[in-house]
Amino acid sequence: MENFSEIFIKIKPLFNAVIKNPTQANILQLNEQFKTVDNSSVQVLQNIFLQQLLILVDAVPGQNKNELKTHLLECIITILLKGRLSKAVALRTTLLAAMKLLYDRDTGTVRPDLSEEYKLAVLKVLSLVSRRIQSELVEEVYVKENLTLLSQAIFVCVRIVETERARKLRFQAVDSIVSLLQVHDDFDFNDTVLRCQVAELLFITLPKLLATYVSIINGDEKQGTAVYRIAIKALGRTLSLIFEDYTKETLHDEYGIEQFRQLTESLAGTERSANILGLGLKENDKVKYFNETSRTRDWLLQAEKKVEQILQLILHLRGHEEELIRLEFAKMNCELLRNCTYNMPSCTVHYLQTVIAMCNDESARVRDLCERCQNSVPYFTMSFAGNRIDDLFFDALNQLPRVIYRGEEREQIASFRLITGFLGFFSEPQLASIFSSQNILEQFIMVLLAAAELDSVAELVRREYVSYRFEYEEGFHMQKEKNESRWIVLKNVSAPRAKQAFLELIHKLRQHDQAVNTVLMYILENFYASRMNSNGYLFILSELIPKNTNDASNPSRLLEPFKTLLAEVLQPHHWFLELDENDNISDQKYNALHICLVVRTIAKLARFMMEQFRWYLYDALRILLQCCSSTLNCINESTELALDTVARSQGMSSIEQLLHHNLDYISQQITRCLRRKEHFRDGMNMLEAVLRFVPYDSSNVLETTVTPIIMNILDSYSQYGERNSIVCLRVLQIFIHSIRLRYAHEAENEAEATNEKAATNLSEQIKRLQAFLRREIANESEDDPEFNPDDQDEQPNATNMDEQATEHQDETETEEKEEHVPSHIKIVLRILTVNFKHLASSEDAERIVALSTLNEGIYVLQRYENQLLPLVHNIWFNFTERFSDRNPAVVRNAFELLLTMAQLSKDFIRKRSLDDVLPKLYQFMREHWNADPGAHQVYKLQCKFLTSIDGLVRNLNFSEKQLDQTLEIIRLYWVKSERRELKKQAAECLQRMRSINSLAVFVKCGCTTVLQ
């Protein structure tokens, strides 16, 4: 009692002042004084303080009485925190007074016009007054005489939960219920005598409490994680309190089927004889029932059946997204499994299944908790509480399709983890025995198919006609995104966590070799029984493939069934599917997805089989290289990912190395296909794929194969172009791209050498002019000769002769240059000549590829002006027409070609660009400034325009009038566009324009500070 004197010196006078004249300042000062005094000092006068403050709270006068009452209640809370109540009278009085402040017994409702702070303070008093008591007082108070008082206090808290929506109030109400039931954290749970006494008294409140807890757990998510957690904790501790086997009957009995049969028979007889739970009683009969009913074994078994129905409503908590909520739910099930199995035989199955399911939780804390419980509780056998485990497994499988099709994330995760838990619980012989049942195996496959049903997304038919979409860096490594989740989309399992839970289920099956073999053989037998399921089967099969044979859990004996799978997916009927554009979009999507899944399966098999895959490598390469040239983006990227996986499985670092190593076989296949008209397209596809990954000059085999093919295409284009024009154009395009990459370094070196030579010639000319100037100065110092008109006539003649000689020399040099044009430039010119004829093609794909090829080829010709400018002149008419094209992708590729020509030709196309091209481009940008967000090609063109137009302005040297027109378009997007990306790019474009002509930007935009 360090501060005992302060009780009488400071606190007692202040307390008396508050009692006489309660003001906010006095009450707050009193509360602060209570906080400074030690616990033992306050304990001396605790009962007196509580009694007088409670009377004062009930009788506070004035307009702001709720606020004053709240401050007085805070003083009571401080007093209760300072010590434990030791007298039953104080406990009962405080409980009764607190309930009266909040609840009107006459109307049976919560008092109106009370502030949230006031209600919260009352609830805290109810919680503390039942929690901050000595253990002897629990035994004295929790008796039959106080049942009405205690049950009313619980009922008040329940009413707060039902009527209030504030998080703090709901949380505190549940906390008060936990305190009133004496299942709070401060209680000694090993004191079974006191727990039994409380259970015998308050068991009658169970139905209302269960309904309250479940309403919170299944209620609005906006109430917060803390309210969820305390409701789950309260539910578990309430059930444990009431259903715990305090007599320890389970120490003498063991679970068996016969015992549960006897139990069922006894329960059936009891149900016929009496209404043990008091269901459907009238008001008068209810009072009698509540006063006379006791917590008997029959009552517990009848109540347990109702509890089982309620538990099924909250099983979705196994898959809740919050780790703390799942952890609390796991603790609840583990506690009930340890203490309540004797009085809750039906619910025990749910507790066991929850523990098994949550042993596969993504949280390590939850997994560890459930695994410890599984190892310590003796009920995890082939018979769960009288139920055969295979029957439980079959029941879970039967319920799962409805859960999958409903699409609720938590239910799906909970169900998937339960099946995963069963698969992990079974030993390999047990699971093999279970799958020997045809019904169970078929239901299991049906569940997998329901979850593996794939959606036909629009991404499956997105095409990119330009052959190269990669960048070569050091070592020609391909840098691009490979994200197969864009087209492999589960239709019924859309949430990422649910999809991961489903994949974990399939991966758990990998641990059982016999089961994998059984499922694999069953699927292969029924692979083409239904066309609707073939893609789903492929997805399941690809996920069943282990990662590699080096893993101890994946012995080599699994190779044989997976070799059968590989032989199946290499069959032609999986590859020769209709993929060309037509009106049947659904079939296109299905076929494209099928090929993507087959490619994915081959890649996973290559990773699994490692060295054993080399026996199937040639067949796989032939198929993969053909698919790699598909215009469908999904197939293209899937095949690139597969080729990369195959390369690594064979110990190679890249696709280029893989193709180099097998180039002899590939060249032979290409040549063989090109000799047959029916396989010409396949050969061209393989050639294009090889050129994408391997520089054609990096191997003599490839160069001697490619060059004759290209020349043959150019010489006999009309023969092939009628039926395979797009294939030929793509091959020519990728060939020009390879030439550009090959000679880019040489062009840089030659440009440097040309600059050095020009500098040397310039210095020599300067020296000659200086010598000539010195001679002229020396001649002027001599006497001037007489005027001779003949000399004057001879001088112009000499000048003309010099000019003619110079012109003749230039013509000679030009002819020599044309004669010395490199062979690769001649090939490029021939390819471009073939290509620009397709600028006016009726096929979008051909126009796009032609524009892209011209864009590449012009870069190759940039140092050969005599070849470049005539080419630009020849393509100009058809080129300008592309800016009026109906396809935005064509317009975008035409704009990219314009940027390239402006950079390389500059003044040669300045006037014709300003007159023929830019008006059409401006019109397109004005018409589509508010285009639909789904118009991706329009958006790409808009982005390209805003990021590149300043370079075009520089290269073509726009006048002020022309610059004003350009700024008008940029300002339109800056001011009116609703897409943030376009507004940002327009603002950045205006910033760059300021470096070209800041005055014009200022005049057009009005204020430069907006751009900063």
Taking only the tens place, the pLDDT of each residue in 106-131 is 787 888 888 889 899 999 999 999 98
In the predicted model, is pLDDT for residue 367 greater than 80?
A: yes
Asked whether 858 and 809 are in contact (CB, 8 A), the reply is no
* pLDDT higher at 723 or 536: 536
Percentage, residues of the chain above pLDDT 70: 79
The rounded distance, in Å, linking the Cα atoms of 686 and 627 is: 8
Please give the tally of structural domains in the chain: 2
Exposure letters 625-660 (e unless 16+ CB within 10 A, then b): bbbbbbbbbbbbbbbbbbbbbbbbbbebebbbbbbb
Confidence of residue 283 (pLDDT cuts 50, 70, 90): low
Confidence of residue 322 (pLDDT cuts 50, 70, 90): very high
950 occurs within a structural domain: yes
Mean pLDDT value of segment 632-646: 87
Confidence of residue 255 (pLDDT cuts 50, 70, 90): very low
* pLDDT higher at 635 or 380: 635
391 occurs within a structural domain: no
The rounded distance, in Å, linking the Cα atoms of 162 and 159 is: 5
- CA-based nearest residue to 182, from 129, 146, 230, 145: 129
pLDDT at site 33:
80
**Using the 8-state DSSP alphabet, how is residue 217 labeled?**
H
Q: Residue 988's domain spans which residues?
A: 929-1011
Could you say which of 180, 197, 224 is where a domain stops? 180
The Cα-based distances of 951 to 862, 904, 955 in angstroms read 18, 12, 6
Exposure letters 239-267 (e unless 16+ CB within 10 A, then b): bbbbbbbbeeeeeeeebeeeebeeeeeeb
pLDDT at site 754:
52
Range in 100-104, 591-595, 601-605 the model is least confident about: 100-104
424 occurs within a structural domain: no
> Within 10 Å of residue 440's Cβ, how many Cβ atoms?
17
Return the axis-axis angle of helices 167-180 and 225-243, rounded to nearest 10°: 20
390: tokens are 């295979």
pLDDT at site 284:
64
Give one word for 60, left, alpha or beta, with left for phi > 0 and alpha for psi -120 to 50: beta
572 occurs within a structural domain: no
Range in 14-18, 37-41, 166-170, 184-188 the model is least confident about: 37-41
Range in 144-148, 418-422, 673-677, 762-766 the model is least confident about: 762-766
Confidence of residue 405 (pLDDT cuts 50, 70, 90): very high
998 occurs within a structural domain: yes
Confidence of residue 315 (pLDDT cuts 50, 70, 90): very high
Range in 108-112, 279-283, 456-460, 630-634 the model is least confident about: 279-283
pLDDT at site 239:
94
457 occurs within a structural domain: no
φ, ψ of residue 110 to 5 degrees: the values are -70, 140
pLDDT at site 390:
83
Close Cβ partners of 133 (under 8 Å, ≥ 6 residues apart): 84, 85, 86, 91, 141
pLDDT at site 474:
43
The rounded distance, in Å, linking the Cα atoms of 315 and 308 is: 11
The rounded distance, in Å, linking the Cα atoms of 923 and 962 is: 14
pLDDT at site 480:
42
What are the CB-based long-range contacts (under 8 Å, 24+) for 988-992?
A: 988/946, 988/947, 989/946, 989/947, 989/949, 989/950, 992/950
Mean pLDDT value of segment 816-836: 71
> In 244-282, where does DSSP find H-type helix?
257-273
In the predicted model, is pLDDT for residue 364 greater than 50?
A: yes
* pLDDT higher at 262 or 12: 12
Mean pLDDT value of segment 864-883: 85
In the predicted model, is pLDDT for residue 771 greater than 80?
A: no
pLDDT at site 602:
94
Range in 558-562, 758-762, 966-970 the model is least confident about: 758-762
428 occurs within a structural domain: no
Confidence of residue 713 (pLDDT cuts 50, 70, 90): low
Give whichever of 259-273, 380-394, 544-558, 646-660 has the largest mean pLDDT. 646-660
* pLDDT higher at 280 or 904: 904
The rounded distance, in Å, linking the Cα atoms of 144 and 146 is: 5
pLDDT at site 1011:
44
Question: Which uninterrupted H or E stretch holds 103?
Answer: strand 103-104
Confidence of residue 323 (pLDDT cuts 50, 70, 90): very high
103: tokens are 């609840």
Residue 8's CATH number:
1.25.10.10
In the predicted model, is pLDDT for residue 318 greater than 90?
A: yes
In the predicted model, is pLDDT for residue 794 greater than 60?
A: no
> In 8-64, where does DSSP find H-type helix?
12-20, 24-36, 39-44, 46-58
In the predicted model, is pLDDT for residue 100 greater than 50?
A: yes
Give whichever of 87-96, 542-551, 771-780 has the largest mean pLDDT. 87-96
pLDDT tens-place string over residues 187-221: 888 888 899 999 999 998 888 899 999 999 998 87
pLDDT tens-place string over residues 30-69: 888 877 777 776 666 777 778 888 888 877 765 557 788 8
pLDDT at site 1006:
65
Mean pLDDT value of segment 616-637: 87
Mean pLDDT value of segment 920-939: 82
Could you say which of 180, 213, 230 is where a domain stops? 180
112 occurs within a structural domain: yes
pLDDT at site 15:
78
